[in-house]
Amino acid sequence: MSQLTRADWQAMSERLQLEGRAFINGDYVSAVGGDTFASINPANGMPLALIAGCDEQDAALAVAHARAAFRRGDWSRCAPAERKRTLLKLARLMEQHQEELALLETLDMGKPIGDSLHVDLPSAINCIGWNAEAIDKVYGEVAPTDRHSLGLITREPLGVVAAIVPWNFPLMMSCWKIAPALAAGNSVILKPSEKSPLSAIRLAALAREAGVPDGVFQVLPGFGHTVGKALALHNDVDCLAFTGSTRVGKQLTQYAGQSNLKRTFMECGGKSANIICADAGNLDTIAREAAMAIYYNQGEVCIAGSRLLVENSIKDELVERIIAYAEQLQPGDPLDPATRMGAIVDAAQLDTICGYVAKGVDEGARLRMGGEPVLTDSGGHYFPPTLFDGVNNRHTIAREEIFGPVLSVIGFDTLDEAIEIANDSPYGLAAAVWTRDLDKALTASRRLESGQVYVNNYAGGDMTVPFGGVKQSGNGRDKSLHSLSEYSQLKTTWIALHGN
């Protein structure tokens, strides 16, 4: 555990030299058009740094360098063991700079420094190391042909991969894409969210120091409708790996169709159901886990357990315990290591959350806790844990992704009913079921329309298992060996054998 105090982090943030330029072909450069925009600290509303506002000119330049690097072959065609060594070095460098990277994350998007340092950074570093370690253990296949032929099935990198990512776990979401994409031998262009570009920009220098060749890893900060759109429409980008909202995911799929039919992997939004059966066990434990399932990271989590489905016989008791626990999670200064809920990413997101709370009240749900912004004198954006009871699955707050600390509690009488409610959603990212009955748990797991199902936990998992959604939550899979396959394509080589 880090021994750094709030004063230490504050002092460190004052010493930081923030880089805001794009990273193209091995160097930091201003946007071709000269545009910049300010990144804002959501904790106090103060500007942090000027960021390059890249557009289609920068996209064109970066894609040309990415393609040239891919053709050059010093990364795309080098031995996998060599890519492994370089990426392991990158993981080590990230480890050496983990406090700085964690600080960038917290300053940029408002999450508590303890979470940045103890959750986001270890996970991002592990992702780079894990994919590095995996890549020299991936084999091709020999087809079961007749004796006059030899059929080789090999995996090749795709070419130029554009990764477009959100702001809620900036470095972690970036690494989930770039680690397998780089390990597989692609040239990668990372477009971080305009709300959280700092850690991605810093990562570029570490990749250069680790020995990733020029043009193989580039970072283009800027807005979605400018540089993001340009990458998505570019005819020389082979793959678009996206994490973000369903609305933008749909748009990107259209861009792929309008241009070169590039491969697209979409990791989109969710409205996940956390189902608590009456036989689930210790209510204090479940209350704590159900609270963290929605309030962790200020509720800005794609798999947030935002719909809590509770068997009616224990609902009132559980709601009281969740409220008692969540009262201790009041938002505070993200740089204070004791803070468990930080700032909401920006004013627009805070307005969105407030709008949903107002709608919840209007549509007849019972507001039991929170509901109003707090710490308004700070100049930052803070919203407390908020809970609605008596929610109906038709209410807007039960249907739409709020992306804030707002929990909707829905009662049920039978597991069948709970599964029906859970599946009655356009999304299918995550679901959980809590019961001591194995039969009920596995039946629910089979029937829940969701990319991942947690049994007697929420949000468990590690690098060994895939992560992704079904329905309008997307179609890609991050993490595990399966994600390596997403960034490569199969090649068949058919050899005629003329011997006997």
Contact flag: residue 39 with ligand NAD (CB under 6 A)? no
Q: Closer to ligand NAD at the Cβ: 106 or 168? A: 168
Rg (CA), the chain: 23
Stretch binding ligand NAD (CB under 6 A), from 38-46, 136-144, 151-159, 238-246: 238-246
Contact flag: residue 337 with ligand NAD (CB under 6 A)? no
Q: 207, 219, 153, 199: which is closest to 183 by C-alpha?
A: 207
Alpha-carbon distance of 245 to 250, in angstroms, equals 9
Q: 221, 167, 154, 163: which is closest to 187 by C-alpha?
A: 163
Q: Closer to ligand NAD at the Cβ: 185 or 244? A: 244
Contact flag: residue 157 with ligand NAD (CB under 6 A)? no
In the complex, the smallest distance separating the C-beta of residue 413 from ligand NAD, rounded to whole angstroms, is 30
Catalytic residue (choose from 19, 194, 267, 401) = 267
Residue 56 is among the residues annotated as catalytic for this protein: no
One of 334, 360, 384, 474 touching ligand NAD (CB under 6 A): 474
One of 48, 63, 69, 173 touching ligand NAD (CB under 6 A): 173
Tell me the sheet residues that pair with 22: 29
Q: Closer to ligand NAD at the Cβ: 243 or 450? A: 243
Cα angle 304, 307, 312; round to 5 = 140
In the complex, the smallest distance separating the C-beta of residue 258 from ligand NAD, rounded to whole angstroms, is 12
Contact flag: residue 166 with ligand NAD (CB under 6 A)? yes
Contact flag: residue 342 with ligand NAD (CB under 6 A)? no
Long-range contacts of 390-395 (CB under 8 A, 24+ apart): 390/364, 390/365, 390/366, 391/307, 391/360, 391/365, 392/364, 392/365, 393/307, 393/421, 393/424, 393/425, 395/359, 395/360, 395/363, 395/364, 395/365
Q: Closer to ligand NAD at the Cβ: 168 or 274? A: 168
Alpha-carbon distance of 252 to 368, in angstroms, equals 39
Q: Is 149 helix (H, G, I), strand (E, B) or coil?
A: strand
Stretch binding ligand NAD (CB under 6 A), from 39-47, 49-57, 114-122, 466-474: 466-474
Residue type, 400: E
Q: Is 474 helix (H, G, I), strand (E, B) or coil?
A: strand
Instruction: Give the contact letters, 259-278, x = binds to ligand NAD (CB under 6 A), - = no.
Output: --------xxxx--------
Contact flag: residue 485 with ligand NAD (CB under 6 A)? no
Alpha-carbon distance of 315 to 278, in angstroms, equals 9
Q: Tokens for 72?
A: 């050059």
| Site of tokens 């795309």 | 76
Contact flag: residue 251 with ligand NAD (CB under 6 A)? yes
Are residues 162 and 178 in contact, defined by beta-carbon separation less than 8 angstroms?
Answer: no
Query: Using CB under 6 A, which residues numbered 186 to 225 contact ligand NAD?
Result: 191, 193-194, 223-225
Are residues 450 and 301 in contact, defined by beta-carbon separation less than 8 angstroms?
Answer: no
One of 265, 325, 403, 434 touching ligand NAD (CB under 6 A): 403
In the complex, the smallest distance separating the C-beta of residue 254 from ligand NAD, rounded to whole angstroms, is 10
Contact flag: residue 63 with ligand NAD (CB under 6 A)? no
Contact flag: residue 180 with ligand NAD (CB under 6 A)? no
Q: How many residues does the chain have?
A: 500
In the complex, the smallest distance separating the C-beta of residue 223 from ligand NAD, rounded to whole angstroms, is 6
Q: Closer to ligand NAD at the Cβ: 53 or 228? A: 228
Contact flag: residue 115 with ligand NAD (CB under 6 A)? no
Q: Closer to ligand NAD at the Cβ: 267 or 486? A: 267
Alpha-carbon distance of 153 to 71, in angstroms, equals 21
Q: Which residues bind ligand NAD (CB under 6 A)?
A: 164-168, 173, 191, 193-194, 223-225, 228-229, 232, 243-245, 248, 251-252, 267-270, 302, 401, 403, 429, 469, 473-474
- The residues that are catalytic are 267
